[in-house]
A and B are shown apart, each in its own frame.
Chain A
């Protein structure tokens, strides 16, 4: 059984490595379409991470919404605007050294925070279950106001999109 556990842990680390590589590819690839595909790979990887954290419903919803709907929209936008032939866009400009310095400072602060945290963390309440039924009860019980507010927000966005896209009579 230890072999299986070890294989499991190795798999999770491989998944994280794949996510990191896809994220780096997303910002450095020259073709915009390839970057969009790398973003889709990152999102699927994140769904995998949710699965390792026992959040099965959330992982499926992540794939359904992010990869199925949001990525489709992004790719529609990319395909409608990009020219058909090869685009080779330089991914860095003359201000690269300054940016690298800034990022190193940020990484230094982040590493400091990570090192000082007492790993492994214990969650607040161990008995919280993340099944769909519990989520539904929470939405309709404790967080109903936020839920209704979000739905009003979405309707406002939809109507706004229709108003913008409509042809003027």
Chain B
């Protein structure tokens, strides 16, 4: 099993050793970096393409129909057909649009999505760049996509685009704060900001030491995952770009390859948020029998399935419900969560701390949902029938 585990690393080492016979040292370094960049640059879009196919098939099955299956067996070649369609569509730019900004916005939207792949631990020893502020790097680059949304909506010079863009940007910054704060207990517990070190902190006792199995970890996982869904503008938080709402919001005026770039950025964000949630809370690449990279993909795709499941089931939020959820429910819960996680670390008696933490979190959840959100909980009505 160890052979399978490090098969990619060994292949790269053999290849670099072969090259090292007749190339100087510094060029080997560059070739190493080039291989890593090449793998990520190929893996990102390929994953995105097959995620679109997976989404259509899964949502189709949930709606009692088969997804696409005409192009290739089980629709395997469907993303290639979609890609060809996007490439060959006409690129329409509105006449009054700001040409440079209109061109730059989709390009700059894909950059953070691709950069985030650099700090994901794909397996044991397989992380592209082991930054020691890896988690903060991920959060920082994913927060720069807000400006790109503004650029896209402004450059279209279309009032509905601007409206959709501002809603989308407001949603993105509102949900960033609970996302960052819910990761703080994990950093507290793993004592490092590097994603690799966080996975290693969970990999000690196989399976049971994952952060999701602690009370504060479970709450932090749920909040992080829901905030991640909101960051990617996916259902049920897809008010800014839903077709029946505001005609696709900030990417209304984009067609052809530029729209394909926005689409690609959204699906790559989906993958990276799921991968990061799996890394931080579900133990990354750690697991009993199978190779480590296989466990990573299984966990990530389980979370991606949950995202698709949400899309197939839930109606979308209204904009005030969306904002209310972030500011009135998630933010107070994450703040309480940080305190509870700190207390959890200081108390060493196992049963007491689990019971205490769960009690405090449950009580605070009920308090916040009842007192802060009373306006949204409908009262029970009695209908007395007049005889």
Contact = CB atoms under 8 A, between A and B. Distances in A.
Contacts of B136: 57, 60-61, 64
A40 B151 CA distance: 12
Nearest to A47: B140
B131 interface: yes
Contacts of B25: 1
Contacts of B286: none
Contacts of A64: 136, 139-140, 143, 180
B26 to A, nearest CB: 5
B147 A72 contact: yes
A63 B154 CA distance: 22
B163 to A, nearest CB: 11
Interface residues of B, number: 30
B166 A76 contact: yes
Contact of B150 (A72, A84, A85): A72
Given A33-B154, A79-B154, A68 B146 contact: yes
Contacts of A31: 98
A37 B166 contact: no
A79 B156 CA distance: 13
A49 interface: no
A69 B133 CA distance: 19
Given A64-B139, A67-B144, A79-B166, A34 B101 contact: yes
Contacts of B151: 37
Contact of B144 (A1, A68, A75): A68
B29 interface: yes
A120 B289 CA distance: 56
Interface in A62-120: 63-64, 67-69, 71-72, 75-76, 79, 84-85
A67 B29 CA distance: 32
Interface in B200-214: none
Interface string B125-155: 0000001110011011101101100110010
B173 interface: yes
Contact of B193 (A44, A75, A132): A132
A79 B139 CA distance: 25
Contact of B143 (A33, A57, A63, A85): A63
Interface-centre pick from A64, A69, A71 (highest chain B CB count, 10 A): A64
Nearest to A84: B157
Contacts, number: 71
B131 A56 contact: yes
B241 interface: no
Interface in A1-22: 1, 3-4
B169 A72 contact: yes
Q: Tell me whether chain A's interface is mostly helix, strand or loop, or mixed.
A: helix
A75 B170 CA distance: 12
A60 B146 contact: no
Interface string B89-133: 000000010100100000000000000000000000000000111
Given A33-B101, A84-B159, A60 B137 contact: yes
Contact of A56 (B132, B139, B173): B132
B26 A4 contact: yes
B175 to A, nearest CB: 12
B150 A63 contact: no
A52 interface: no
A44 B193 CA distance: 21
B120 to A, nearest CB: 16
Nearest to B136: A60
A33 B150 CA distance: 10
Interface-centre pick from A34, A44, A57, A79 (highest chain B CB count, 10 A): A79
Interface in B48-103: 96, 98, 101
Interface string B309-345: 0000000000000000000000000000000000000
A88 to B, nearest CB: 13
Given A57-B136, A63-B143, 17 more contacts: A4-B29, A31-B98, A33-B101, A33-B154, A34-B101, A37-B147, A60-B139, A63-B141, A64-B140, A64-B143, A64-B180, A67-B143, A68-B143, A68-B146, A72-B146, A76-B169, A84-B162
11 contacts: A1-B26, A3-B26, A4-B26, A4-B29, A34-B101, A37-B151, A61-B136, A67-B144, A68-B176, A85-B96, A132-B133
Interface of B: 25-26, 29, 96, 98, 101, 131-133, 136-137, 139-141, 143-144, 146-147, 150-151, 154, 157, 159, 162, 166, 169, 173, 176, 180, 193
Pairs A-B, 6 closest by C-beta atoms: A68-B143, A63-B140, A60-B136, A64-B140, A60-B140, A75-B150
